Structure 1
Amino acid sequence: MDAARLTATEASRLIQSGKLKPADLLEACLARIAERETKVQAFAFIDPAQPRAAKSLPGPLHGIPVGVKDVFDTADMPTEHGSPIWKGWRPKTDAAVVNLTRNAGAVVIGKTVTAEFAIRTPGPTAHPQTLRHTPGGSSSGSAAGVADFFFPLGTGTQAMGSLIKPAAYCGVVGFKPSFGLINRGGVKLVSETLDTVGIIARSVADCALYVGAISGQDLGNPDLRPEHAPRIGVCRSPAWGKAQPETQRLVTNVTATLARAGALVSDYELQSDFSSAFQTFSHVLNREAAQGLGWELTHARDQVSHTLLEQLDAGLAVTWEQYSKALAALAQVRERFSSTLGDLDILITPAATGEAPEGFSSTGDSSFNSLWTALHVPCLTVPAGTGANGLPLGIQVIARRGDDRAALAWAQWIASALS
């Protein structure tokens, strides 16, 4: 058994039963990191001596290594936000998520690469499968690290598609919970209105294990088969025109497979006001990012990348009237979304426009993610096949806000049907 390849739930069961020692799991992960990290570059910081010396508390995550995205404060490791401005910075405290993670028994194995302030210029991380493609972002290091067996769980944030998209590109599971389910204290936020803390893992059950452990919410056991098949709406969304041919085929194939497995599948079309609200998304994101990074703009503007500067300057140009109108439009559709689902349990939609793009100039297109982030609803991506280049594709599962337990259960039903 290669312990590094275990899912978090598998490892947890073995640890709880005494069949696997936490130290052996950690050493297996560190050995994999030593073998592959120089190629994949998933870490912003790792010192093997630190996780080896860390005390793993008893709890639901006892002994499980976790990679922490480098926008979460850590008292014992640098927190640099993917920016030279913060190089070498050492916070005095852990972010709430990191503290909760440690208290649940997990071991923070290192800090994972993020795009610049989790919004713009990519870091050095490569797609583990090819080393020539982006792993997606901004939670790049967490997605690549989970996919390449560096650690079974990686934390992330999402203001656009920073959890779902890289998980889909790397062929693993991404979970963006309902907005506010996980505490954001000590996280460098891009957007007060949008940023959501979540997890990248190797299974849906792993996501339930981790988020349940740190939120205190009982998210159930997604591996238990529901009493009936789901009622699924297939939503191509306003971004459908950007879907690559492999993604269009994926949706067709997935829909047919789920119907054969017993799901009641129907087309679902968003009403026009959702599309209109989506068009003003950038007003909210850019204005809040410009304000949230105001200190950096004032005191270290020359160390902000050119592309991010363009975005932040556009945010500074957004008027209060434009911003408040966009906020109101998003709040209105957010309030209405649940009722528009009718008797549907979930929606499915693409997790990304296609396979991971080649090169490292971009982390990919988040067009299939931003609207759902703005609606504050739980989203998961599960692996659903491969594209023309043999790289992973994912399907995205969406549920009503606050219905995270059901989102996880139905996502696992879909993952089982697709496997």
Structure 2
Amino acid sequence: MEPCFLTAAEAASAIRAGTLTSEALLRSCIARIEARDPVVKAWLYLDKAKAIATARELDKRPPMGPLHGLPIGVKDMIDTADMPTTYNSPVFQDYRPARDAACVAVARYSGAVILGKTDTVEFAAAGRRAATRNPKNPAHTPGGSSSGSGAAVGDRQVQLAFGTQTGGSHIRPASFNGIYGMKPTWGTVSREGAKQYANMLDTIGWYGRSVADLALVGSAFRLHDVGEIGIPSVAGLRVAICRTPFWDQIEPAGAAALEIASKRLEKAGAKLIDLTLPPAFDGMFEAQNTIMMAEGRASFLDVALEFGERLHVDFHDRVNNKLEITPENLLAAYNLAAGCRRAFEALYADFDVVLTPAAPGEAPEGTYNTGNHIFNAMWTLLHVPCLGIPCTTGPTGLPVGVQIVAPRYGDARLLALGEAMAPIIDEETALYAVAA
């Protein structure tokens, strides 16, 4: 097997054992990029020579941390000191930050090789879409705004990549690209050096090809108790099936994925519980949108004033409060979210984990429509950790995933649950385990 096809956890283990070098891994990933990226278009910037030189240097050193020798892609609205950060915006094509974003610095000092910058929706918000195509079918979107990161990991061009989520920009592309995604508890990973959209919502996450990959990155960020919690048995696990108040927006492929995942877990001995959220949760999608647009008004004011008509009209619409959001509207949204956070966590006395859709269905056709965040927005606003798991394929053969959700700061427990549940939910992982 070419090293680029290894998961991050497998590659890390091989590097530690001395059976694989970081340089060999980087060269394999670069060869994959050269072969595939003319179609997939996941990357906005690559410095292949520097990545290989960095890997060669790491091969001379003792392990720096859990990500030692592993390549990682960085969504191009996250600052990198040695690479441009363009935000996929025509007005920032020459921007060179002076410092790494905090998440990039953590990865670098944990031994990762920063391979390059991945394409994104402009400012991870609106305006220009990424040029990236879905690696499973280039006629379809990879999702957004973490378009390039999701596609690069899904196409085996890199083991790991950073994404971000303000509405559904991280977990939804995980579903569309058939990969694993971790959106940690809001605030557990520093957002310093990442372009702000909505302070109350923005969360930095990461993609991998297994739950073990996600846990590896979680350990680098020192998420509380990661690696310290035992993997539970699925038999007897109380799994709450949450169709959410927005079930009328589900597509047949999304409904089928949730049903398939539920039946696989039930067959493995899990106890399924139907979870209907209290009526207050009906307003959470609107509340998330209100907060996102209102806080975006402040986040994009400076660039609107600086660049005027050169900046996409989407950002002027936010700055000029096109939706006419009042302070009373915003306060009501904040208050609803605060109440629902407490109410959601109180429900956990009755179950161990929530299983819910990660996206309405398969990735839409075209690249402009990056997908609907209706099944992500509420969880983002609740500030809870979410873990995207591949499940099945839809009628056109594109991936459809699900997500599991835990209470705030239950990230380590969620990763342990994911380790137990993923081999059952993920059709491909289950087949691989049987073959092995």
TM-score (norm 1): 0.96
2:434 corresponds to: none
**Contact conserved, 1:290 with 1:316, CA < 8 A, in 2?**
no
**Which moves more between the two structures, 298-307 or 31-40?**
298-307
In structure 1, the residue matched to 2:121 is 115
- Matched residues in 1 for 2:314 and 2:115: separation? 31
CA distance in 1, matches of 2:255, 2:24: 43
Q: Does 1:313 align with 2:320?
A: yes
In structure 2, C-alpha distance between the alignment counterparts of 1:400 and 1:173, rounded to whole Å: 19
- 1-side partners of 2:32 and 2:392: how far apart? 25
Contact 1:246 1:354 in 2 (8 A): yes
Measure how far apart 1:332 and its partner are: 1.4
Q: For 1:8-157, list aligned pairs within 5 A.
A: 8-54=8-54, 55-56=57-58, 58-120=64-126, 121-157=128-164
Tell me which residue corresponds to 1:281.
288
How far the C-alpha of 1:251 sits from its partner, in A, is 1.8
Paired residues in the alignment total: 419
Equivalent of 1:294 in 267, 290, 301: 301
Deviation, 1:281, is 1.9
1:225 and 1:346 map into 2 onto residues whose CA distance is: 12
The correspondence for 2:191, drawn from 149, 172, 184, is 184
| Structure 2 spans left out of the alignment, 5+ residues | 431-436
Asked if the contact 2:304/2:315 (under 8 Å) is kept, the reply is no
C-alpha RMSD of the superposition: 1.7
- Are residues 337 and 224 of structure 1, via their aligned partners in 2, closer, same or farther at CA, if it must alter by over 3 Å? closer
Distance 1:341 1:138 in 2: 31
- TM-score normalised over the length of structure 2: 0.93
CA distance, structure 1, for counterparts of residue 112 and residue 313 of structure 2? 38
Q: Counterparts in 2 of 1:142-291, with a 5 A limit? A: 142-215=149-222, 217-220=224-227, 224-226=231-233, 229-291=236-298
Inter-partner Cα distance in structure 1 for 2:324 and 2:114: 40
Secondary structure in 2 matching 1:193: coil
CA distance in 2, matches of 1:93, 1:48: 20
Deviation at 1:311, TM superposition (A): 4.5
Gaps of 5+ in 1: none
Letter of the structure 1 residue corresponding to residue 362 of structure 2:
E
1:397 aligns to 2:404 (yes or no): yes
Q: 1: distance between equivalents of 2:393 and 2:406?
A: 25
Residue type matched to 1:305 in 2?
A: H
- Spell out, residue by residue over 1:354-386, the C-alpha distance to the aligned partner (whole angstroms, 9 max, x if none): 100010112110100000000000101101100
Residue 357 (structure 1) aligns with: 364
Q: Which of 371, 384, 407 is matched with 1:377 structurally?
A: 384
Q: What code does the residue aligned with 1:347 have? A: V
Q: Which residue of 1 aligns with 2:433?
A: none
Aligned-pair identity (%):
39
- Amino acid of the structure 1 residue aligned with 2:192: G
Q: Is the 8 A contact 1:288 1:315 kept in 2?
A: no
* C-alpha contact (below 8 Å) 2:181/2:206 kept by paired residues: yes
Task: Name the aligned partner's letter for residue 21 of structure 2.
Answer: K
CA distance 1:229–1:182, change in 2 (3 Å): farther
